[in-house]
A and B are shown apart, each in its own frame.
Chain A
Amino acid sequence: MQETIQLDLPPAEWTHVIRPKRGWFEFSFKELWGYRDLVSMFIRRDFVAVYKQTVLGPLWYLINPLASSLVFTVVFGKIARIPTDGVPPFLFYLSGITCWNYLATCVSGTASSFLTNSSLFGKVYFPRLISPVSTVISNLTAFSIQFLFLLLFVGVYAAQGMTVQPTWTMLLIPALILQIGLLGLGIGIMVSAATVKYRDFHFLVGFGIQLWMYASPIIYPASEVPARFRGLYSLNPIAPIIEAFRHCMIGTALPAAGSLMVSWLVTLSILFFGVLLFNRAEKNFMDVV
């Protein structure tokens, strides 16, 4: 019996044409979607790597917000006596930090996309945006754990009859988280694009995030912001998100109606420019030796 030799004929049409990259916005969702398996593998890698390396594993995710909230409760609640809109200070801080941590990890994680992946980027092609996108999704693991932790405390406080009113609007939280993810991605990839030219930006990230936190309603309610700063304050895209998140979780005041719209607008513009700069940087990154 003769073995059949299978000859796979190549496609008749050109499947790829490689040309010099000139455009500013060469980006295709279709291509990104084609690499979804890679995104899921990166997420799995991040997940497994974290759990296999540390002794305490996921516990670390709880120690951080718990410790910060306790410190804030003592320093800003007991000593500085900053009001917390009438909700228990600990819950107020914990809810703010839970939200904030997700943003902070997204920004700092994606900001180093080029630095941490340089060897991979030099060896194999995939849309570079895959790696920051998967970082943002990976960070949801830590967020979910912290979120459940927060939920537990909300339950405990509510059971004790404290002034905590979680509402049905909790169902809107996924939309808020999506926005935080997109915002973090946008800012992070902007910074990562800047690090390709100037490494200085890498050192600014940690510092910048910290300053930004003080400009956001984490340790104080937005209602305490003086009226003359309100205009400027409404440009901080994360502020209304955190207020809305707190409203959903513990029933504090809703942010001003238009502010969430402005926040979405700012988020999407940041993301747009982020992708633009990232594409640009991607090209430079490979051409500078």
Chain B
Amino acid sequence: MSAPIIEIRDVWKEYRLGLIGHGSIRRDFQSWFARLRGREDPNSPIFDDADRDPVRGDRFLALREISLDVHPGEMLGIIGRNGAGKSTLLKILTRITSPTRGEVRLRGRVVSLLEVGTGFHPDLTGRENVFLNGTILGMSKAEIRRKFDEIVEFAGIPKFIDTPVKRYSSGMYVRLAFAVAAHLEPEILIVDEVLAVGDYDFQKKCMDKMSEVTTRSGRTVLLVSHNLGAIRRLCTRTALLSHGQLLEVGDTPKVLNRYLTHVQKKEFEFAQPTNGDKPMHLRRVRVLGRDGLPSMEAEYRDGFSFEIEYEVNEETKSAMVWAAVRTSDETEVFFSADYDTSPELLGPRKPGYYRTVLKVPGKLLNHGTYYLVIGISNLAPEVAYDRVEMPGLTVNDTKNDLSNEAAKRIGLVTPRLGWDIRYISPPAGDLR
């Protein structure tokens, strides 16, 4: 194997907690005055016992002793639950922030795609934004000019290239933004979660483009994603982060398995702040047990519910909120959308905050570990607005009373179907 293209050596990162620009002179003055009089500082942090970990006083260790080699031409996946340190690691690799300790050595240019359309300006035309976005991502103007036609063709919007992007549909916007990034030719490309947006065909096109980038031209790609399907398809090797530490690096199926069975088990709530960029987006998703409490352990006979809270920012038509259950090897057990029982939802949805609950009845999902995918998409045009994966739902049968009957059934689902039984005649001979 050739020499590594990225060497990460004992990298630590410590953040200070607190909001940027929210300090005020008055408070600092208060603290100073209190110290002067020998009083307790009224603004000292509440938790400052030194052994609180990973929060130490007002400091937070986002990464600790990360060491990792990435080889040229490799596509490495990085997974871990929210707050595991994935984004911090990427920010260090892309020089957005610097490590507190340790060192990273890179060979070649790094381009990061932490967000689709970084720096896009709504008033500029598609053409202008291609140049703006490209230069922000580190390309020279000459390079962009050379690639321009290819980018426009990949995005599939040649007719609208001279229209301001504020008139674009969100699908077109994402296409254009990804097209720019996909045509950058750095030695190292770092991609974070961008595949979670855009329509399905385009997502596939992007993935194909990315694997082409690695296999054909030997470039190195780091892919951070909650989309385990994408990781499985694209990456041969995957790194698993947990609480700022590198838990495991190795063959993707093995690492994914560990992730699904161990690390993710406890995460039963997903929440994100409001975001006005998309017409609709998820705010909170929880999995609830029969007692209505969040849990990723469902009782076989009781079933469980998805509680999905979402926000509609602008009136949206033909949208659906959906949930799917998959096994750890990507087999879809079932898919359900909110318009199934209320077709009027395909009409316009008024802006606002919504909560919807999908109840999955008991005795349907067989014993085992599943992962759940929840999303919001539009059917016409086909655009995915938001999507979250919650791995690690376990269905158990701890309360079986009559018999351990469920364990004997095979199949992913064990529905109790309606059997029509009629008594026709006494035994022997009458129908003869």
A interface with B by C-beta (< 8 Å): 5-21, 37-38, 40-42, 44-45, 48-49, 52-53, 114-115, 118, 120-126, 195-200, 202, 283, 285-289
Contacts and interface: CB of A to CB of B under 8 A. Distances in A.
Given A124-B112, A125-B94, A125-B112, 18 more contacts: A6-B216, A6-B218, A10-B108, A16-B95, A16-B105, A20-B98, A37-B135, A38-B136, A44-B132, A45-B128, A123-B96, A123-B118, A124-B94, A124-B114, A198-B23, A200-B24, A286-B98, A287-B15
Nearest to B94: A125
Contact of B123 (A40, A53, A125, A202): A53
Interface stretch (B137-145, B363-371, B376-384, B415-423): B137-145
B24 A126 contact: no
B105 A44 contact: no
A123 B22 CA distance: 21
B96 A122 contact: yes
A5 B121 CA distance: 37
Best-surrounded residue of B92, B96, B164 (most CB of chain A within 10 A): B96
B218 A198 contact: no
B126 interface: no
Nearest to B216: A5
A7 B217 CA distance: 5
5 contacts: A19-B103, A37-B135, A40-B141, A44-B128, A124-B118
Contacts of A14: 105-107
B121 A120 contact: no
B108 A288 contact: no
Closest 10 CB pairs of A and B: A286-B97, A18-B104, A125-B95, A199-B21, A7-B218, A10-B107, A21-B98, A16-B106, A52-B123, A41-B135
Nearest to B98: A21
Contact of A124 (B17, B23, B102, B136): B136
Interface residues of B, number: 61
B119 A10 contact: no
A196 B20 CA distance: 6
Contacts of B138: 126
B411 interface: no
Interface of B: 5, 14-25, 28, 60, 72-73, 91-110, 112, 114-115, 118-119, 121, 123-124, 128, 131-132, 135-138, 140-141, 164, 187, 216-220
B16 A287 contact: yes
A22 B402 CA distance: 68
A283 B17 CA distance: 14
B25 A198 contact: yes
A114 B22 CA distance: 13
A202 to B, nearest CB: 8
Nearest to B26: A200
B107 A15 contact: yes
A143 to B, nearest CB: 22
B21 A115 contact: yes
B118 A120 contact: yes
Given A15-B107, A16-B106, A8 B187 contact: yes
Contact of B218 (A9, A18, A286): A9
B20 A45 contact: no
B18 A288 contact: yes
A121 B135 contact: no
Nearest to A6: B217
Contacts of A10: 5, 72, 107-108, 187, 220
A198 B164 contact: no
Given A10-B72, A52-B164, A120-B118, A37 B141 contact: yes
Best-surrounded residue of A49, A124, A288 (most CB of chain B within 10 A): A124
Best-surrounded residue of A41, A44, A49 (most CB of chain B within 10 A): A41
Nearest to B105: A14
Nearest to A18: B104
B160 to A, nearest CB: 16
A120 to B, nearest CB: 6
Nearest to A115: B21
A49 B124 contact: yes
A44 B73 CA distance: 36
A196 B21 CA distance: 5
A18 B187 contact: no
Nearest to A124: B118
